[in-house]
Amino acid sequence: MRQKMVAGNWKMNKNFQEAEQMFETLAELIKDNKPEEAEIVVCPPFPYLELAMDMLQESGIGIGAQNCYPKDFGAFTGEVSAAMLYSLGVQYCIIGHSERRSNFKEDHAFLAEKVKATLVNGIIPIFCCGELLPEREKGHYFQIVEKQLKESLFFLSAIEFSKVIIAYEPVWAIGTGVNASPEQAQEMHHYIRQLIRKNYGEDFADETVILYGGSCTSTNARALFENPDVDGGLIGGASLKPEDFLAIANSF
């Protein structure tokens, strides 16, 4: 049985004091709202990771970063490596978010390097894929997502691939208030699972966690998560409100 999961991507939000407050509230709320089925992961900005580790340790909430650099150490001013994240105790790292693809021009090959670096360093990558609005409108969305997965993930060995979490995030749904319909999400998640089946076989396809992201809220989460191939969510805006975030995590 696949693990259900809800991960919160805070993006570049909250100052230190607000982050501290968020962790405190999350740790308090989860005592009475611990999801039976889902694992919860929080991905705050880098400067708050250590605090998150300290404050959420008891709660069972997993900690993830939002990005990493593919080299372990060296002259890469301003970057943070997967090796550093591992040494801090971070368990997950988001790779290939559409905001990094578009704002920082991260391409398939660079993302493949990042995926490899996380796995080599014992970090679980949450690999994001998803099409832009014009690609959806032209009906090219399957090819786009297939290429993203093929170029940045499918070079992995089966053992390596078994650690990967995939997040389907249609770019037109991110931060827009327009989520993919449950049918659209299921259609793509099913397609992704078929691709995994083709590349790695039935067992690996059945075991791969595929999250949905894009305007997922406590109102629409249940309908999205009810789908057989949707294993949870990667949550942006709604993860900034602890009550909403935990309500989403309890929507299975």
CA dihedral 157, 193, 10, 57 (to 10 degrees): -60
Q: Does 9 bind ligand 13P (CB under 6 A)?
A: yes
Alpha carbons within 13 A on the beta-carbon side of 41: 26
From 97, 99, 106, 135, the catalytic residue: 97
C-beta of 115: minimal distance to ligand 13P in Å? 16
CA gap 189, 183 in Å, rounded: 10
Stretch that binds ligand 13P, among 142-150, 197-205, 209-217, 244-252 (CB under 6 A): 209-217
Residue 186 or 215: the one with the smaller Cβ distance to ligand 13P is 215
Residues 6+ away with beta carbon under 8 Å from 117: 68, 69, 70, 71, 72, 81, 82, 83
Residues 153-172 close enough to bind ligand 13P by CB under 6 A: 169
Residue 9 or 250: the one with the smaller Cβ distance to ligand 13P is 9
Stretch that binds ligand 13P, among 47-55, 105-113, 184-192, 228-236 (CB under 6 A): 228-236
Residue 66 or 186: the one with the smaller Cβ distance to ligand 13P is 66
CA gap 61, 139 in Å, rounded: 38
Q: Which of 175, 181, 198, 203 binds ligand 13P (CB under 6 A)?
A: 175
Q: Is 190 a catalytic residue?
A: no
State the CB neighbour count (10 A cutoff) for residue 163: 15
Residue 35 or 233: the one with the smaller Cβ distance to ligand 13P is 233
Q: Does 216 bind ligand 13P (CB under 6 A)?
A: yes
Residue 20, class by beta-carbon neighbours within 10 Å (0-12 exposed, 13-18 middle, 19+ buried)? middle
Strand-pair category, 62-65 with 92-95: parallel
CA gap 127, 138 in Å, rounded: 24
Q: Which of 83, 145, 174, 247 binds ligand 13P (CB under 6 A)?
A: 174
From 106, 131, 135, 169, the catalytic residue: 169
Would you tell me which residues interact with ligand 13P (CB under 6 A)?
A: 9, 97, 169, 174-175, 213-216, 234-238
